[in-house]
Amino acid sequence: MTTADPLPEGSLPDQPDEAARHASARTARAAALAEDYVEIIADLLERDAEARPTDIARRLGVTHATAIKTIGRLKRDGLAHSKPYRGVFLTEAGHELARRVRARHQTVVAFLAALGVPADIAEADAEGIEHHVSDATLAAFERFLGEAAR
C-alpha cells in the first residue's frame, strides 16, 4: 500500500504517520495565527501609525491576554518588537510576512470572485484558504486570473 492509498475501514494509520500529520497541522495553525497578527498589526500601523495590543485583540476577537501572549511569540520569532508606553511594531521580517499574506489574500479573493463567489463570502473564505494554499495552487490561481483577464 502506498501513502496515497486509503486505509482499510476500521484500521488506524501507523502511529509515526499519524503523529507527523497532527504535528504538521499544529505547525500550520501556529503559522496562520502569526500571519493573522502581522497582517492586523500592519493594517493598524498604516491606519493609525500605532498597533496597541488592545486594538489588536479587538480586531481579532480575542482577549487582551491572548493578544499579549501571541505578540510575545511574534517578538521571540523576530517578527515584531515593542516600545515602552507605545504599541507593537513589525520588524522587516514581519513587514515582509504581512506583504506576502496580503498578496495571497488578494489572489484568493480575486480567484473566488472570478468563480462567481459573492464578495463577502469570498473575503470570509479567503481568511482560511490564504494560510493553507500551496505556492503551486496559488500560482495556478494567478495563471487562471491572468488568462481570464485576456
Tell me: the pLDDT tens digits for 88-98?
A: 999 999 999 99
**pLDDT of 4:** 55
**pLDDT of 131:** 87
**pLDDT of 1:** 45
- Over range 127-146, report the average pLDDT: 92
- Over range 89-113, report the average pLDDT: 96
**pLDDT of 20:** 75
Specify whether the CB–CB gap between 48 and 84 falls below 8 A: no
Tell me: the pLDDT tens digits for 56-75?
A: 999 999 999 999 999 999 99
Tell me: the pLDDT tens digits for 19-57?
A: 777 776 777 777 889 999 999 999 999 999 999 999 999
DSSP string over the chain: --TTSPPPTT----HHHHHHHHHHHHHHHHHHHHHHHHHHHHHHHHHHS---HHHHHHHHT--HHHHHHHHHHHHHTTSEEE-TTS-EEE-HHHHHHHHHHHHHHHHHHHHHHHTT--HHHHHHHHHHHHHH--HHHHHHHHHHHHHHH-
Q: Is the pLDDT of residue 110 over 60?
A: yes
Domains of the chain: 20-94 (1.10.10.10), 99-149 (1.10.60.10)
Average pLDDT for the chain: 89
Q: Is 95 left (phi over 0), alpha (psi -120 to 50) or beta?
A: alpha
- Over range 71-90, report the average pLDDT: 94
Q: Is the pLDDT of residue 115 over 60?
A: yes
